[in-house]
DNA sequence: ACCTTGACAGCGA
DNA sequence: TTCGCTGCCAAGG
């Protein structure tokens, strides 16, 4: 199983309403510290993949603010009940440092 | 083989 | 919180 396959599997494993950071996906794929490789794989992936559930470590959507892709991802997340404010998941007032840990702990969906 | 590019991250200022 | 800088590593030129 290639690294790319493990990354794809890790993304598939993210359930509806859940959100993970690139680094978390990399770690889950057995590739700690290789968040950028996750980004590469997603950029080149074609099929149905819950790519919209992967965001940056600070909760921001990775695509450029205002871009069509950023809008698409935000819409897909909100359709699953994830709160997205100003291109960022979760409560806007949640401190970035606590967010990463928070992403791990959400078995279902974030509190409003 | 060398250089540049990323859907990134952690840390200090 | 944002900015800058460093570390990271696979791809493509």
**DSSP per residue over A45-96, as a string?**
--SS--GGGEE-TTSB-SSPTT-HHHHHHHHHHHTTT--EETTEES-TTS-H
Predicted confidence band at A71 (pLDDT cuts at 50, 70, 90)?
A: very high
Q: Does A60 score more than 60 pLDDT?
A: yes
What is the model's pLDDT at position A13?
92
Look at residue A91 in the predicted model and tell me its pLDDT: 56
* A95 CB below 7 A from strand C atoms: yes
- Nucleotides of C strand lying within 7 Å of any protein CB atom: 1-2, 7-11
Spatial distance from the CA of A104 to the C1' of B11 (Å): 21
> Are the C-beta atoms of residues A90 and A57 closer than 8 Å to each other?
no
Residue with the larger pLDDT of the pair A100 and A4:
A4
Q: Is the pLDDT of residue A106 over 60?
A: no
Q: Using the CA of A95, which nucleotide's C1' is the nearest one?
A: C1
Proximity of residue A65 CB to strand B below 7 A: no
């Amino acid at each position: 199983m290639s690294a790319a396959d493990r990354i794809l599997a890790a993304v598939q494993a993210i359930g509806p309403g859940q959100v993970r950071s690139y680094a978390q996906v990399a770690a889950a794929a057995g590739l700690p510290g290789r968040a950028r490789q996750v980004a590469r794989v997603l950029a080149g992936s074609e099929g149905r993949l819950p790519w919209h559930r992967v965001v940056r470590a600070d909760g921001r959507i990775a695509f450029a603010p205002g871009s069509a892709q950023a809008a698409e991802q935000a819409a897909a997340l909100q359709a699953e009940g994830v709160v997205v404010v100003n291109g960022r998941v979760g409560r806007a007032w949640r401190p970035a440092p606590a967010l990463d840990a928070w992403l791990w702990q959400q078995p279902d969906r974030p509190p409003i």
